[in-house]
A and B are shown apart, each in its own frame.
Chain A
């Protein structure tokens, strides 16, 4: 199994396409960081404009932690598309090249074959997120320094102390890894049904875009299905950045406002992963491989 996984990883990282995602993330992050470094004060003033009418907010609002949060909000919507490029190509790519049937003549079970491919796609996803963390978090911390985080929600604002932030990012990235693995699992599942990569990649992107729109629209009829869409739960990483308050309205360090939501979303995403991988196994085992 380990050898199979190594082979699959070798195949992934041998293709130039793999590095498109890394390059795209690097370009996007550095451009946003550059923009915020040059005009960060104006951006902060624009974001805080409503609050500034009644309150005076002093301090380093535009710090590395805040910049990372802005970047994650922007990027974690688009990273699934980059993951789909690889995950949706895992089986269909082999079919396209005509190597799928050849591979299955080797003395390995179809289960091993599928799991090795899925784990390879998962490792690629995690590496992409690690790269995202290095650039969005550590590079931002280095460029902008660190301080408290002052985050604006729709109905309220949250200030999180500097010392209480890093573990939240660790948690948020772990959760993002789970969310992105769900996307990888979806792409992987769809890659069973095509003999070229374009179809499953576009299909994965379409599903994500369609579900994301349904998840974000506040229309009562959609609210019924929202809890069952994995895209609704993919943004639950933000729960790490909301803090409980005591009866005096003071934040309680080390707390999360709605841990229940985080746990619920974790289980729903895990269930999706299990379902997509299980379905992939079922379909592939039954499949008459002709390519």
Chain B
């Protein structure tokens, strides 16, 4: 009888501790969200580099538009832009915008010399496109250093964020967005390339690597209003 009581007490204390930790993580996420909420909208200039093994693309100048709650658009100033499908639109604000979620602590890790808390966000809503998000939060500065998002339709994305001038708003200077790519093979009837063009050696070297989009922000115009037509 005494033994059963001890076990019950231990389980009660453990579950309480877990609950307190989950609450702590929710508070931390809320704090980060509050920081990001300082930004209602922004227009940013930057450069985008697409690094996908089967695509040869140049670095291009881009404009990035954001408006609360989760309108996000990347437009290449001149030319064609190649982005992971449905991926880049998963920006920090839309991840944090999750309303019903469970935030679980998953330890600490050092990223770029900064201690970060690992927080796993599990959406409560079963119809949510996001299945799981893992955030690496710099607790001292309330900055998300890394985010790994697993979605239902578009696979897993990984965002690495580097901060500088606009850290006070929680806006990064550089984002490296990694995603899974499938092998690419086009029927000759579509490409009309009937001759055998062997794959270039440069591309061959990097085959198998994850696809990456690297966005380097040069300037932000924050909270000056952005028209909804920009997101069409």
B232 to chain A, nearest CB (A): 11
Question: Contacts A249-B51, A250-B57, A251-B56 hold; do A153 and B194 have CB atoms under 8 A apart?
Answer: no
Does A57 make an interface contact (CB < 8 A)? Answer: yes
Residue total for B at the interface (Cβ-Cβ under 8 A): 43
Question: Contacts A54-B182, A245-B202 hold; do A152 and B190 have CB atoms under 8 A apart?
Answer: yes
The complex places the Cα of A235 from the Cα of B200 at a distance, in Å, of 18
Q: Which residues of A lie under 8 Å from residue B81 when comparing CB positions? A: 57-59
A-B contact count (CB 8 A): 142
Does A206 make an interface contact (CB < 8 A)? Answer: no
A59 to chain B, nearest CB (A): 3
> Across the two chains, which residue of chain A brings its CB closest to B78?
A162
Question: Contacts A147-B79, A245-B200, A250-B59 hold; do A154 and B84 have CB atoms under 8 A apart?
Answer: no
Interface-facing stretch out of A15-23, A107-115, A170-178, A236-244: A236-244
Does B82 make an interface contact (CB < 8 A)? Answer: yes
Q: Which residues of B lie under 8 Å from residue A216 when comparing CB positions? A: 194-195
Q: Would you call the interface of chain B mostly helix, strand, loop, or mixed?
A: loop
Question: Contacts A154-B193, A156-B203, A215-B195 hold; do A56 and B83 have CB atoms under 8 A apart?
Answer: yes
In contact, B192 and A155 (Cβ under 8 angstroms): no
In contact, B194 and A249 (Cβ under 8 angstroms): no
The complex places the Cα of A156 from the Cα of B183 at a distance, in Å, of 10
Q: Which residues of A lie under 8 Å from residue B181 when comparing CB positions? A: 54
> Across the two chains, which residue of chain A brings its CB closest to B199?
A155
Partner of B80, one of A58, A232, A250: A58
The complex places the Cα of A245 from the Cα of B198 at a distance, in Å, of 15
Does A159 make an interface contact (CB < 8 A)? Answer: yes
In contact, B55 and A156 (Cβ under 8 angstroms): yes
Interface-facing stretch out of A45-53, A187-195, A283-291: A45-53
In contact, A148 and B79 (Cβ under 8 angstroms): yes
The complex places the Cα of A244 from the Cα of B49 at a distance, in Å, of 16
Does A248 make an interface contact (CB < 8 A)? Answer: yes
Q: Which residues of B lie under 8 Å from residue A257 when comparing CB positions? A: 200
Q: Which residues of B lie under 8 Å from residue A56 when comparing CB positions? A: 82-86
Residue total for A at the interface (Cβ-Cβ under 8 A): 49
In contact, A53 and B58 (Cβ under 8 angstroms): no
Question: Contacts A56-B86, A73-B192, A215-B195 hold; do A152 and B55 have CB atoms under 8 A apart?
Answer: no
Does B171 make an interface contact (CB < 8 A)? Answer: no
Partner of B191, one of A147, A152, A235, A243: A152
B41 to chain A, nearest CB (A): 21
Does A31 make an interface contact (CB < 8 A)? Answer: no
Partner of B186, one of A50, A53, A218: A50
> Across the two chains, which residue of chain B brings its CB closest to A212?
B194
A window 217-231: CB within 8 A of B: 218
Does B75 make an interface contact (CB < 8 A)? Answer: yes
4 smallest CB-CB distances across A and B, nearest first, come from A59-B80, A148-B79, A216-B194, A159-B57
Residues of A within 8 A of B (CB): 46-47, 50-61, 70, 73-74, 147-148, 150, 152-162, 215-216, 218, 232, 235, 238, 242-251, 253, 257
Residues of B within 8 A of A (CB): 49, 51-59, 75-76, 78-86, 179, 181-182, 184-186, 188, 190-200, 202-203, 206, 211
8 contacts between A and B (CB under 8 A): A55-B84, A152-B193, A155-B198, A159-B55, A159-B80, A242-B200, A245-B203, A250-B57
